[in-house]
Structures are given as C-alpha cells and as structure tokens.
Structure 1
Amino acid sequence: MPSPTQRVLARVPARMRPFLVKHRTPVKFLLVGSTCFVLTMMVNLSLKLTVLEHKPVVALTVATVVATVVSYVLNRQWSFRANGRQREAVLFLLVSAVAILVNDVPLIVSRYLLDLREPDVSAFTQEAADFVSGLLVGTLVAMVFRYWAMRRWVFVPVADPEPVAEGRPEPVSRA
C-alpha cells in the first residue's frame, strides 16, 4: 500500500516530481509552516478580538506558541522524521523560544517604535500594520531562522526513511 506521500506524488505532474522528491524536506517544512501560519492567524485574530484586545504582542506570542506545539509534532513526525530523543525536545523548545522572539520583533517595532497604533493612526492602519509586521514579516524571518536552526541542531538529518519505490521517480542526478 503506497504511503500518503507517494499517493500525493502520483497526482503531481511528472516533470515536477524529481524536484519535489529531491527537495522533499523543505517542501514538507513549508507545508507544515503554512498550516501553522493559518493556525497562528486564527488564534491571533481570535485573541485580539476578545480577551487580549489591547495586548497585540501577547496575542501574537500566545498564537505563535500554540502553532509551535503543532509544528513540533508535525515536523518531528513528517518533515524531518526524527527519532525520539529527549535532547531533541529541549533543543526544539530553545530554538522555538528564540523564534517566537524573532517573530515578535517586527510587531514591537511597528507598534511601539514607529507608533503605528491608535490614536496616531486609524484602526484600519493599525490592524494592517500589525498583520504585515507581525504575521507576514515576523513569520517569514522566524521561518527562515527555524528551518536553519531545526536542520542544524534539532532534527539532524538521518538516512532517507522513504526508499525509492516502484512508480516513484528517482531523484535527478547532477551528471
């Protein structure tokens, strides 16, 4: 029975398969990250519209922590396929704590250094600035940091757990 990854690859155009197979870890990391980005947006917006209305940095931090927990499970089980080690969990928590701070910095700069908040700007401008700085810029910078740090210290690459199966294209070699 083919794995879920093999079933998805079977639906991808044949000329794209070698690229996706060759770069499967970054592709999986981006899919997990995209899922967690949507989760972060939903939690952040929910908190900003309810209990943390006047605390946007706290709302973003809580949303990022929730998404980080989901990210750990998905990256460990799917993207990096790491074997269970206590050291791995501790390193993941340390890298994630730094990444959460990295994610918050653009929002802090936007809100408190550039004064892009009410009453200095309109409510719409404030929310647009929060979205761009906190969710887009902050997430992008934190994502690059997380990928590098996770690859370097947390989920150290192991031998390929998915050998090339029948019907699955061989990675393109550089000859």
Structure 2
Amino acid sequence: MTVVETVLARTPEPLRAVLIKHRELLKFAIVGGTTFVVDNGVWYLLKLSVLESKPTTAKAIAIIVAAIVSYVLNREWSFRTRGGRERSHEAALFFLVSGVAVVVNLIPLYLSRYALHLEVPHVSRLVQEVADFASGSIVGMLLAMFFRFWAFKKWVFPDELGQRRREQVTRLPR
C-alpha cells in the first residue's frame, strides 16, 4: 500500500472524496512543501555564509536547486499520468516555465530589499530577515506556485498527451 493510499484510508469520507478529486493538486502541494524546505535550506545556507551580501543571488541559486528536485518529483509522482512528450522536450518546457517562475518568485524579495529598503543599515537585522522570509519565501513562492501549477498542467504535462503515460503506469507493478 502506498503512502497516499494509507493516508486516504485513514481520512474521513467527505474529506477523502475531495482529496481524491484534487489528487494532482494535493501531490503538487506535497512536492511544493518538500521543495520549500530544499529552497529555504539552500537559501539560508548561502545567504548566511558565502553570499551574505547578495541575498537575491542566493535565493536564485536556491530556487534553481529546488526546481531540479521539483522536476523529478512532479514528473515521476504528481503528474506521472500526464505528459507523454519526449523527455528532453518536457524537461526543456519544465525549466522554461520554472525560469519564468524564478523571476515571479524574486520580484517581491527584490522590491522588499531595494525598493522598500528593508535591509541593514536602514532597518535592524531582525526586520531584514523577517522581510526577506515574508517576501521571498511566502509571497514570492506562493505567486510562483500558482503560476507553476497552471503552466505545468497547461504546457508541460498536458492531459491530452497523457494516454501513453497512463498506459505505461497501469502496466507497472505497484
């Protein structure tokens, strides 16, 4: 029994029906939570060490690392019954969409730091870090997440190309 099946078996019936209906979104959200941890772990590691004076660069690197993890998890789990393109074409589209999402994600952090001047010496270190987290990891990531979910379903893993993958998945042993 898979993890998802175990969780669904323990979920009350009304909620179970909703989760099953929106299972792609639920899986996408779980992948997002995982990449959130990867993103922030790498960002703070870089930002508090070698890229202390360049938080936007550190965030961009962290987002790229998280995007690679996201591609593997989304392709092999969240959208495994969708898509069907040649893997290199699908990966190129995924990373093109993710590149646009990087820009979407960085805009709030950039505005916080450089337009609103929420950085040392204009504000305390605590205010700077709270503003960075709120703008880069909450607002930016949420905006990018909504954009990615829509774009992945529309262009990267479209349902109309998924028949071939659905046939492969149903033949695989569980």
State whether TM-score is above 0.5: yes
Once the two structures are superposed, residues 109-162 of structure 1 have per-residue CA deviations (whole angstroms, 9 ceiling, x without a partner) of: 010111111111111111111110111100000000000110110011235948
Distance of 2:157 and 2:23 partners within structure 1: 15
What letter corresponds to residue 19 of structure 1 in structure 2? V
Does residue 140 of structure 2 align to residue 138 of structure 1? yes
Letter in 2 for 1:73: V
**Per-residue deviation, residues 35-81 of structure 1 (Å, max 9, x unmatched):** 11111111111111111111000111111111100000000000000
Q: Shift of the alpha carbon at 1:13?
A: 2.1
Q: How does 1:19-34 map to 2 (within 5 A)?
A: 19-34=18-33
The higher relative CO (CA closer than 8 Å, separation ≥ 6) is in 1
Shift of 1:16: 1.5
Aligned to 2:60: 61
Equivalent position of 1:111 in the other structure: 113
- Distance in 1 between residues matched to 2:85 and 2:6, nearest whole Å: 26
Identity of aligned residues (%): 50
Q: How many residues align?
A: 162
Question: Structure 1 stretches of 5 or more lacking a match?
Answer: 164-175
1:77 aligns with 2:76: yes
Q: Tell me which residue corresponds to 1:39.
A: 38
RMSD of aligned residue pairs (Cα, Å)? 1.7
Indicate the residue corresponding to 1:173 in structure 2.
Answer: none
Aligned-partner Cα distance in 2 for 1:4–1:35: 15
Secondary structure in structure 1 of the residue aligned to 2:12: coil
Give, in angstroms, the shift of residue 84 of structure 1. Answer: 5.9
Runs of 4 or more above 3 Å deviation: 159-163
* In structure 2, C-alpha distance between the alignment counterparts of 1:3 and 1:117, rounded to whole Å: 46
Please give the alpha-carbon distance, in whole angstroms, between the structure 2 residues aligned to 1:68 and 1:12: 30
Q: Give the corresponding residue for 2:48.
A: 49
TM-score by length of 2: 0.87
Separation of aligned partners in 1, 2:42 and 2:145? 18
* Aligned position for 1:90: 92
**Aligned residue number for residue 154 of structure 1:** 156
In 2, the alpha carbon distance for the partners of 1:137 and 1:92 equals 22
Larger relative helix fraction: 2
